Structure 1
Amino acid sequence: MAQAVQASIGDSEFDRDTAVTLRTPGVYDTRLSAGWTIAHAVNGGYLLAVAGRALGDALPHPDPFTTSAHFVSASTPGPAVIRTQTVRTGRTLSTGQASLFQYDEDGTEVERIRVLATYGDLNDLTDEVRTSATPPAISPYEQCFGSADAPDPEFAEKWAILGRLDIRLDPNTIGWAVGAPSGKGEVRGWFGLADGRDADPLSLLLTVDAMPPTSFDLGLKGWTPTVELTTHIRCRPAPGPLGVAISTRNLAGGFLEEDAEIWDSRGRLVAQSRQLAKAPR
Structure 2
Amino acid sequence: MSAPSILTSTRPFADLTTLTDLGEGNFGAVVDAVWTIGPKVHGGCMMAVCAAAARDAIRASGDDAGAMQPISVSASYVSAPDPGEVRLATTVRKRGRQVCLVDVDLYQGDRLAVSAAVTLGVLDVGEPRHQVPLAVADLSAEPPADAVHIVPDHPMGQIVHVAKGCDLRVDPSAARFLAGEQGDPVNRMWVRPFAEDEADPDVALLFALMTGDISAPVTMNRGMFGWAPTVQLTTYLRRRPAPGWLRVMASATVLGDTWFEEDHVVLDQTGQTVVQSRQLAMIPKG
Q: Confirm or deny a common fold (TM above 0.5).
A: yes
SS at match of 1:49: helix
Contact 1:205/1:231, CA 8 A, preserved across alignment: yes
Taking the aligned partners of 1:141 and 1:29, their CA distance within structure 2 comes to 36
What whole-Å deviation, never above 9, does each CA across 1:1-32 have from its counterpart, x for those lacking one?
Answer: xxxxxxxxxx7210112221111131111222
What whole-Å deviation, never above 9, does each CA across 1:157-186 have from its counterpart, x for those lacking one?
Answer: 23322211211111211210121021x100
SS at match of 2:192: strand
Amino acid at match of 1:38: I
Unaligned runs of 5+ in 1: 1-10, 104-108
**Are residue 63 (structure 1) and residue 69 (structure 2) matched?**
yes
User: Taking structure 1 as the reference length, what is the TM-score of the superposition?
Assistant: 0.87
CA shift, 1:118, in A, is 0.7
Amino acid at match of 1:133: P
What is the CA RMSD across the aligned residues, in angstroms? 1.9
Contact 2:16/2:31, CA 8 A, preserved across alignment: yes
Contact 2:72/2:236, CA 8 A, preserved across alignment: yes
CA shift, 1:67, in A, is 1.1
Taking the aligned partners of 1:15 and 1:235, their CA distance within structure 2 comes to 19
Contact 1:68/1:115, CA 8 A, preserved across alignment: yes
Residue number in structure 2 paired with 1:185: 185
CA shift, 1:200, in A, is 3.0
Residue number in structure 2 paired with 1:160: 161
Taking the aligned partners of 2:132 and 2:149, their CA distance within structure 1 comes to 31
CA shift, 1:68, in A, is 0.4
Within the candidate set 147, 150, 159, 1:147 is matched to 150
SS at match of 2:167: strand
Residue number in structure 1 paired with 2:133: 133
CA shift, 1:128, in A, is 4.6
Unaligned runs of 5+ in 2: 1-9, 59-64
SS at match of 2:213: coil
**Are residue 169 (structure 1) and residue 173 (structure 2) matched?**
no
Taking the aligned partners of 2:283 and 2:97, their CA distance within structure 1 comes to 42
Residue number in structure 2 paired with 1:48: 47
Taking the aligned partners of 1:13 and 1:247, their CA distance within structure 2 comes to 28
Contact 1:164/1:195, CA 8 A, preserved across alignment: no
- Return closer, same or farther for 1:133/1:64 CA change in 2, 3 Å cut-off: farther
What whole-Å deviation, never above 9, does each CA across 1:111-135 have from its counterpart, x for those lacking one?
Answer: 0001101101327x55452111335
User: Taking structure 2 as the reference length, what is the TM-score of the superposition?
Assistant: 0.86
Residue number in structure 1 paired with 2:267: 263
Residue number in structure 1 paired with 2:119: 118
Contact 2:258/2:282, CA 8 A, preserved across alignment: yes
Worse-matched range after superposition: 253-262 or 152-161 = 152-161
Contact 1:135/1:269, CA 8 A, preserved across alignment: no
